[in-house]
């Protein structure tokens, strides 16, 4: 696989898992920060989650391009696991963004109620 010339297939897959897992963790931290009313930290964590997701997507895109160019690589349980992590990270970030907006609206409504 041409993704990283010095890396084995397993190392590439584990790097994909790493970035996807980091993205999901950052998303969950963003959600927790929003729940606690810390929207600045929440935004920082969302940006970090997006950066990690971008890194994971770059790996996946390179793998797909390599495959389209005739490169062979094993699709084993680790690859399936990595793709599962990536899909989970995407969904988690999407839902986090929506829920943070809900927390912000709730916070704003609570503020207006107290006036």
Active site residues: 81
* Rg of the chain, C-alpha, whole Å: 18
Give the pair of three-digit tokens for residue 5: 């010339």
Q: Which residues of 32-67 are buried (b: 16+ CB within 10 A; e: fewer)?
A: ebbeeeeeeebeebbebbeebbebbbebbebbeeee
> What's the rounded Cα separation, in Å, for the pair 10 and 42?
33
State how far the Cα of 16 lies from the Cα of 82, in Å rounded to an integer: 6
């Amino acid at each position: 696989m041409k993704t990283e010339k010095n890396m084995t297939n397993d190392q590439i897959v584990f790097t994909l898992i790493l970035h996807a897992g980091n993205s999901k963790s950052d998303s969950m931290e963003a959600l927790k920060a929003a729940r606690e009313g810390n929207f600045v930290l929440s935004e920082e964590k969302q940006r970090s989650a997006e950066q990690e997701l971008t890194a994971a997507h770059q790996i996946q895109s390179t793998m797909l391009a390599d495959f389209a160019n005739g490169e062979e690589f094993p699709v084993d349980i680790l690859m399936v696991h990595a793709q599962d992590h990536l899909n989970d990270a995407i969904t988690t970030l999407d839902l986090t963004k929506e829920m943070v907006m809900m927390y912000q609206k709730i916070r704003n409504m609570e503020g207006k109620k107290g006036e």
